[in-house]
């Protein structure tokens, strides 16, 4: 949709670039953390998805250029905790071991002078992508399309996730919500067929359809004497559907899951894969993070889905990560970007210039009881040494430096 103030938006993008250069001189992540107590938390959709199961491990074993570029970015920004989206799940753990040993932990070279980056702890688990549902979810007469899986995918584990951490992960306390049913959400945004004004899904399908397109994870991490809950997910894009908006509504409710989870008065309906009900306490410290596929202003989100988190009273969302590279890219590409309403400095993903445009869809959202020291998006400008490496994914790493409060050490 063409915005009626396109010329104002062009002026806005130029002003935004100047503001970012003045206010965010180190948004590429090269700055040092302000104190030894700060923790750098990041999310990065690395696009290390492959068309067949097992291919990622084979690629990682063969000096893969894309993985090397991803590692160079991580070694430059050096997050203490990072969520990687679109890292195909491998139940053997071999893909994670190869990525750590052959890329992040690799010694310096003439091409990459950054220091090795070591993570002692990791978490990965099953996801719904590519997992056959046995149902015709897109109503094309088949039940074995990638769109008929519980989450779009060609094989189980495609587009998976992994959490890497320098701090101990409380493995026994991790909660996953892979199997939570969409029908269990009170007042869910049920997709409706506008032609019939009836539910898009039959009663049988609706009774078995899972809410999470990948999974939702609550990963508690020991940071000093505190516990930080990493709330990780990767909701489906609000696209690739029809007027029923089944993906847009699912994206909305996947985001709502976390909004309810951090609201004690609204979390009773949430049950994890081990049967434990409820969400986080009022005292808990957390960070919601991932590729949430929802822009606050532009794009095709259902009812501005991300506002459920950005306007949540427990979330610190006033300091928005930004980059000069995103603004420069929006100006250079023009087209759809010149007609958008959002500040291009906040963009995190580089999509089609002719249709979608660049969007802010990757987030690191700390709880209000965490002090935010700094933040940024690793979207380097064309003169940066890692500009070409940053093109290995259509997403850019988002990082936030936080100071965990000592008062949360017994929080659950």
149-208: pLDDT as tens digits: 999 999 999 999 999 999 999 999 999 999 999 999 999 999 999 999 999 999 999 999
Tokens of 14: 């130029």
When divided into structural domains, the chain yields a total of 1
Residues in Cβ contact with 65 at an 8 Å cutoff, skipping those fewer than 6 apart: 392
Report how far residue 154's alpha carbon sits from residue 209's, in angstroms, rounded to the nearest whole number.
18
Note the pLDDT of residue 113. Answer: 87
The pLDDT-based confidence of 11 (bands split at 50, 70, 90) is: very low
DSSP letter for each residue of 299-347: S--TTSTTHHHHT-TTB--SS----HHHHHHHHHH-GGGGG--S-GGG-
Beta strand segments in 196-284, E: 198-199, 217-223, 226-232
Phi, psi of 242 (to 5 degrees): -125, -160
pLDDT at 28 over 60: no
Domain limits for position 120: 6-408
Would you give the DSSP letter of residue 405? -
Residue with tokens 């002692």: 120
CA-based R_g, the chain, Å: 21
Residue 10, H or E segment: helix 6-23
The pLDDT-based confidence of 112 (bands split at 50, 70, 90) is: confident
Report how far residue 211's alpha carbon sits from residue 181's, in angstroms, rounded to the nearest whole number.
5
Report how far residue 200's alpha carbon sits from residue 196's, in angstroms, rounded to the nearest whole number.
9
Residue 129 lies in a domain: yes
CATH number for position 13: 3.60.10.10
Note the pLDDT of residue 33. Answer: 53
44 with 234: CB under 8 angstroms? Answer: no
Would you give the DSSP letter of residue 104? I
Report how far residue 240's alpha carbon sits from residue 129's, in angstroms, rounded to the nearest whole number.
15
From first CA to last CA, the distance across the chain in angstroms is 45
Residue 1 lies in a domain: no
List the beta bridge partners of residue 171: none
Query: Minimum mean pLDDT among 19-28, 50-59, 77-86, 188-197: which range?
Result: 19-28
102 with 59: CB under 8 angstroms? Answer: no
pLDDT, tens digit (0-9, with 9 covering 90-100), for 295-328:
999 999 999 999 999 999 999 999 999 999 999 9
pLDDT at 16 over 80: no
Helix 324-333 with 6-23: angle, nearest 10 deg? 150
Mean pLDDT of the 326-348 span? 95
């Amino acid at each position: 949709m063409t915005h009626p103030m396109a010329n104002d938006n062009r002026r806005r993008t130029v002003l935004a670039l100047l503001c970012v250069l003045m206010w965010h001189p180190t948004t590429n992540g090269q700055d040092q953390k302000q104190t030894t107590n700060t923790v750098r938390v990041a999310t990065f959709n690395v696009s290390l998805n492959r068309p067949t199961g097992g291919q990622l491990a084979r690629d990682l074993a063969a000096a893969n250029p894309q993985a090397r570029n991803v590692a160079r970015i991580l070694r430059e920004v050096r997050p203490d905790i990072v969520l990687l989206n679109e890292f195909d799940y491998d139940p053997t753990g071999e893909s994670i071991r190869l990525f750590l040993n052959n890329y992040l932990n690799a010694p310096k070279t003439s091409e990459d002078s950054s220091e090795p980056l070591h993570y002692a702890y990791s978490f990965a688990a099953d996801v719904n992508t590519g997992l056959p549902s046995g149902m015709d979810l897109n109503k094309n007469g088949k039940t074995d399309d990638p769109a008929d899986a519980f989450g779009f995918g060609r094989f189980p584990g495609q587009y998976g996730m992994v959490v890497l951490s320098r701090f101990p992960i409380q493995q026994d306390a991790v909660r996953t919500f892979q199997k939570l049913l969409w029908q269990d959400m009170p007042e869910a945004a049920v997709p409706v067929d506008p032609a019939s004004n009836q539910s898009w899904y039959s009663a049988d399908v609706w009774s078995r359809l899972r809410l999470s397109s990948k999974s939702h994870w609550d990963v508690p991490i020991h940071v000093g004497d505190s516990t930080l809950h990493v709330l990780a997910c990767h909701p489906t894009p609000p696209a690739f559907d029809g007027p029923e908006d089944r993906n847009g509504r699912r994206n909305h409710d996947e985001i709502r899951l976390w909004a309810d989870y951090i609201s004690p008065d609204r979390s009773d309906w949430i049950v994890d894969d081990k049967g434990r009900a409820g969400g986080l306490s009022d005292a808990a410290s957390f960070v919601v993070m991932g590729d949430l596929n929802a822009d606050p202003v532009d794009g095709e989100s259902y009812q501005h889905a991300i506002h459920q988190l950005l306007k949540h009273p427990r979330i610190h969302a006033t300091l928005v990560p930004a980059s000069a590279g995103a603004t420069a890219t929006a100006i250079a590409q023009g087209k759809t970007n010149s007609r958008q309403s959002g500040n291009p400095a906040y963009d995190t993903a580089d999509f089609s210039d002719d249709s979608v445009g660049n969007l802010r869809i990757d987030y690191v959202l700390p709880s209000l009881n965490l002090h935010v020291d700094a933040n940024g998006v690793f979207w380097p400008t064309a003169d940066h040494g890692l500009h070409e490496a940053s093109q290995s994914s259509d997403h850019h790493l988002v990082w936030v430096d936080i100071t965990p409060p000592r008062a949360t050490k017994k929080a659950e």
